[in-house]
Structure 1
Amino acid sequence: MKPGSWIAETGDSYDRVADRYADLVRAGLEALPLEKRLVDHFAQRVAEAGGGPVLDIGCGPGLLTRDLASRGLAVSGIDISTAMLRLARTKTQDSASPQRRLHRSPLPTVRPQASSAGTCCTMSRTRTLGPRSEKSLG
């Protein structure tokens, strides 16, 4: 394996399961009570600090990015998967919203701005979906 090739392989892997993953999380935060409480708290703290900007690292199909933007926070989502970003863009009617930006970036190269009000990363979601969900992704 060439140095750094795992980055492209990871992006390709997420591209292959993007639609199935988006189906698994389509119920949103309402189906995830603990995560919803954590996001509510995070969003409140960011709002108190001026409303952003927030960086959603590994935004996938944009579940958290959309939620935070809907609260009026300035948020940028980044992901290594082109397919996940395509889904994130199509899930929101107002793709050009100045409150929500989406970018493709290899995650190891991400450097949050010093002026960010918050940074969030929910990449652990694939490990917490459970055995049934893992089988449907495979």
Structure 2
Amino acid sequence: MSELARFFAVTVLGVILDLAIAFALHAGLGVPLWLAAAIGFTLAASANYVIHQTWSFRSGPLSARRAGMYALVALATLAVRVGIVALLDRALPGVWPLAILVAGAGGSFVVNFALSKFVVFAAEPERP
């Protein structure tokens, strides 16, 4: 299985985990939706980091430095997703909301993969 396929599989798992946690917190415990969404996103991103580190990119043991970098990538990914959705929703108000959400997810996936592969999980340079 390629790195991209492993990354995609983990990302899909993360989205499912994110939504399941958020829905359970909101529907089951009455946590406000915005807070439930933030908790779900944070927990899923944390799980994704561990799985990407150990399986998607096989980058060795867990690292606090990489975890911090991945947290920044997750925030950048979220910003890209929200930006794409906001731009498309403004350009096409009330038209194809699901397509707009999918476009946002697709754009953020590309950014997330690129930053994860080439920044967070890039091979450490050889030291003489």
TM-score using structure 1 length: 0.28
Which structure's residues are more often helix, by fraction? 2
Larger radius of gyration: 2
